[in-house]
Every structure is written in C-alpha cells, then in structure tokens.
Chain A
Amino acid sequence: MDKRVFLAVSVIVVLLMYLVPYLVLSGMAGPATFLFWVILSALYLVFVYISFRR
C-alpha cells in the first residue's frame, strides 16, 4: 500500500479517536463511546494487517 494513503488514514483514525468522543458522543450515556473506541481500534488493526499484505 502507498505509504501516503496509510499515513492519511492513520491520521484520520487518530483524530477520530480524540474528536468523536469529545464532540459527537459527548454527554451520551451508555456504551456508545466504549463501543466506538473498540470498533475503530479493531478496524485500524485490520487496516494495518491489509497494508502489510499488499
């Protein structure tokens, strides 16, 4: 995979890790923030795996 694509996706993921819980999910009770962080991290791991395979 093109390293620039990897870099761009990674930066977006890192920003989402910070911004979504504090902006979009802010003030929301329940498991939404927990699930968001877990799912995004899992998807990023899959993305890293795919990037190594290409």
Chain B
Amino acid sequence: MEAVSTYFAIGIFLILGTAIAVVAKRFLKKGAKDFYTASGRFGTLLASLSYAATTYSAFMFIGLVGLAYTAGVGALGFELVYFVGTLFLLYFIAPKYWSLHNRGGYITPAEVLSDRYKSRLVGAVVTLLALVALIPYCSAQVIGVAVAAEGASGGGVPFTLAVLIAIAVALLWSVIAGIWSIGWTDVFQGIIMLGVGLMVVFWVFSWGYSTAGFNIAALGQLSYVPNQTWSFSYFLSLTLPWFFFAITNPQVVQRLFSPKDKKVLNRMIIWFGVYGLIFTVLVTFLGLMLRGLTINGAFPMIASQDLVTPTLLGIMPLWLSVLGLVAVLAASVSTIDGIILTLSSMTVKDILGTYRHSIAEKRGVLAGRIVIAVLALACTLFALARPGYIVQLSVLSSSLLLPQVPVVLGMFLWRRGGKVSAVAAIVLGFAVAISLYLLQIAPLGVPANVWTLTASCAAYVVAALAEKEPSGIEQYFEDRGGEP
C-alpha cells in the first residue's frame, strides 16, 4: 500500500469521525457528570457498541491475529475465556453498578469504592493503580496502529508519525464532548471494525481456500491444545487477569453508568456478547487461516506476531488494505479515547477532588480536559519507546489491575472490610505482580498472576478480619435495600 493511500484513508476517517463527534456535542449537557457518564442517557445502540468498541482494541486485529498465527487454536480459548468471564461478571455486577450510579450519582468506579470503604484514600490508590497499569495498555493500542501503518505502507508512513496521528485523533474525540463524542464515534468505529473484519476474512478465504477449503488439522501442532505454547500453566496465566477484565478495567466499568435504564443495560450485555463472539471467532479464524497459507507457501512466514496483520495489509488489494488499516485505527482509537477519558475523570474526582476539592467541583471539565492532554502525552512517550509485544503489554496491564478483584467483589459480597483491607489488597497485590514480572519468575511453577490474585485476596481477608467494620456500614447497606 502506498503512503498516499494510507494518508488519504486516515484523512477520510478523521473527517468523518470528527464530524460525528461535533454533531454528538449537541447531546452534551453542562457539568462533569454528563461529560463523563452521559448522566445515564445512552440507548441500546450507543451503550452496546460503545462497550464493545472500548473493549475490543488493536489487541484483537494485531495481537490476537498474531497470537493465533504463531501459537494456534489456544488463542481462541484465551479470548473466549475472557468472553465467558465477562458475561458471567456483568450478569451479577452490572446491575449493581448501574443502581449505585443511579442512586448515588457517582462519576467514577473509584468513587464507588471510596464510598463503600468510607475512605477517599481507597479511590486515590485505585486511581494511581489504574494510571500505572493502563498507560502501557493505551500505548499498546497506539503501537498497534503505528506498526500496521508502517507495515502496510512499506515504511512509507513512519512509526512516529502514526503514533502521533492515533493519539491526536483520540485526544480530539475525547475533548470535544467527552463520553458523547466517544460514544457516537465508537458506534461508527464498532461498525467499521466488524464490517471490515468480515470482509478481510472472506477475502483471505476466497484468495487461499476457495477450492480446497480450510482444514484446521493441516496446522499440525497448532491445532492441538495443549501444544508447545499452550501449556495449562501458560493458558491459566494469560486468562486469569483477562477473566476479571470487566471489573478491574475502569474504562469498561464506567460504561455501566451510561445506559438509561436496566432494560437497556441488559440489552447492552447481550448485544455486546453477540458482537464479541462474532468478532473473536473472525479474528482468530483469520490468524489460523493465514498460518495455513504460510504452510501452503502462499503467505510469508512471519516470526514476530505483531507483524502478521501488517504483512497481510501489504498483500491485499489496495481498497481492502486501506479499509483494513482504518479498522485497526478504529479499534485502537475507540479504546484509547475511552481509557483516557476514564483516567481523566478518576484523576480529577478521586485525586484532585480529594486534595483540591474546590477546583474539582468548579473546574471539573476543564481540569479533565487538561488531564486528558497530559495522559495522551504520557501514552505517546511510552509508545515511542516500543516496549514490547501487544499481547504481552495488554496482559501486563490486566495483571497489574488484578489486585482490585477482592476489593470489588468484597464490596458486593461482604460487609466486613474497610480502608485498610482495600489498600492492603491493592498494595500487596501490585508489589507481587510487579516483582514477579520484573524478575520473570513463577515460584513453585505457579503462574505469577495466580500469586498476585492469591496475595491480594489473602491480604484483603486477613486485614478485614482484623479491622473494625467501617463506621456507618449498616446504614450504607440499609440505604441500598440490603445490597451494596
């Protein structure tokens, strides 16, 4: 693909998306609550596609295609364990979060925790954890786009420029109207992602398999589970943080505040499920088909998993290649802007609001926009360092967020547990996660993520048993009909 075509495609995407974002601004009402959560006014289409587009990112188009290509069928199980875990958790947790937002007017997931644990320190600690964990994840999205653009254009579009374009688009669409511009551009991007994904899969199938068909068994070891990559330990290690994604990633938790009623919330979960299942199968199937074509000699052998999709983009007909690149850009931007908006709301409400309450109240939206710009800069710098593979970066982020699991589940399931329990779980879990990651060890052969989850749960339970119940907890539960 030529650089001119790439710039043209990105230009069209940028103009259309910005037009949608500007039109969406008319839905925006004054105040931080509407800017960040739409004040619970999203209908089914907006809620569903926004949740799906925020969740499914460059990780899918670049990372999962590459993982299926290099490691085989186990990649599908990895992503579908996430899928099942998300539906399972959303069934129980989503209505509770929605009700809490509806009654309490919370803007951020951290505020909910602060209120339940009767300490703003809990919200501040959760926010710091999210900032540390999600900047690598955001950067993985940017790297995905940049690698795709660079690979597809044969180096015509430099990596650095592609990083700057992706961040600029996400930044622009975030600040125009907050969740409203993000939500409507997510609808636009969600349709592009699924539509183009279908087209690419059909093209690859008709290009390589129209006569003989595709047989997974031809992939040899890659059709087996377990195989050289997918030992049970590795599978568990990768899936564990992903399983809890829906409650540990604040950008998707905050989306649970947006539906206008519980019917819309339920429909959002189902439509997200339909979208997610189709998208996951398509993307994994694409990676497996490409590996089959490599075995047949029709597609080059790719050693780096992040380069499988960019190589495909360079081979496809120009029109499809351009659309493919736009789909990767859409997947990335729809995730980056959602994360940046959520992190901005948490920084303003849960850190600035704690220590500079008057600024957060009076200039909340302005402060939020400034924080969005600072976060975008941080993501840019991190992405330019090109720290690692997209799959590994994404899983690292989820691993660092894993210590929130006992804090969130404890909030809903147990009346014991106060600020010491919550902070201890997060601090100890984070220390274990980062130590094991840096040392690259798995004590006793048990995966690092299992240690992280065990340590944070143990810290939570031990501290909760030793700690006095937070004052006013009975009243807190009573006000909510016996439920948190």
A and B pair up = yes
- Name A's B-contacting residues (CB within 8 A): 3, 6-7, 10, 13-14, 17-18, 21-22, 25-31, 33-34, 37-38, 40-42, 44-45, 48-49, 51-52
In the assembled complex, how far is the CB of residue B74 from the closest CB belonging to chain A, in whole angstroms? 8
B226 & A6 in contact (Cβ 8 Å cutoff): no
Contacts A18-B235, A31-B215, A37-B80 known; 18 new A-B pairs at CB < 8 A: A14-B88, A17-B77, A18-B81, A18-B239, A29-B220, A30-B215, A30-B223, A31-B216, A31-B217, A38-B76, A41-B84, A45-B87, A45-B273, A45-B277, A48-B270, A51-B91, A52-B91, A52-B269
B91 & A48 in contact (Cβ 8 Å cutoff): yes
In the assembled complex, how far is the CB of residue A23 from the closest CB belonging to chain B, in whole angstroms? 10
Q: Does B85 contact A (CB under 8 A)?
A: yes
Q: Does B83 contact A (CB under 8 A)?
A: yes
Q: Does B73 contact A (CB under 8 A)?
A: yes
- Residues of A within 8 Å of B85, CB to CB, are 14
- Residues of B within 8 Å of A7, CB to CB, are 92
A34 to B243, CA, bound (A): 19
Q: How many residues on B have C-beta within 8 angstroms of the other chain's C-beta atoms?
A: 34
A44 to B80, CA, bound (A): 11
Top 7 closest pairs, chain A to chain B, by CB: A30-B217, A31-B216, A21-B225, A52-B266, A45-B273, A10-B88, A41-B80
In the assembled complex, how far is the CB of residue A44 from the closest CB belonging to chain B, in whole angstroms? 6
B 60-74 binary contact with A (CB < 8 Å = 1; else 0): 000000000000011
B236 & A18 in contact (Cβ 8 Å cutoff): yes
| A22-B80 contact given A29-B217, A45-B273, CB 8 Å threshold | no
A21 to B77, CA, bound (A): 9
B274 & A45 in contact (Cβ 8 Å cutoff): yes
Q: Secondary structure at chain B's binding surface: helix, strand, loop or mixed? A: helix
A34 to B270, CA, bound (A): 22
B277 & A52 in contact (Cβ 8 Å cutoff): no
In the assembled complex, how far is the CB of residue A42 from the closest CB belonging to chain B, in whole angstroms? 6
- Residues of A within 8 Å of B281, CB to CB, are 38
* Other-chain residue from B80, B224, B266, B288 in contact with A17 (beta carbon distance below 8 A): B80
A29 & B87 in contact (Cβ 8 Å cutoff): no
| A26-B269 contact given A6-B91, A41-B80, CB 8 Å threshold | no
A29 to B117, CA, bound (A): 51
In the assembled complex, how far is the CB of residue A4 from the closest CB belonging to chain B, in whole angstroms? 12
Q: Does B27 contact A (CB under 8 A)?
A: no
| A34-B216 contact given A6-B91, A18-B236, A48-B270, CB 8 Å threshold | yes
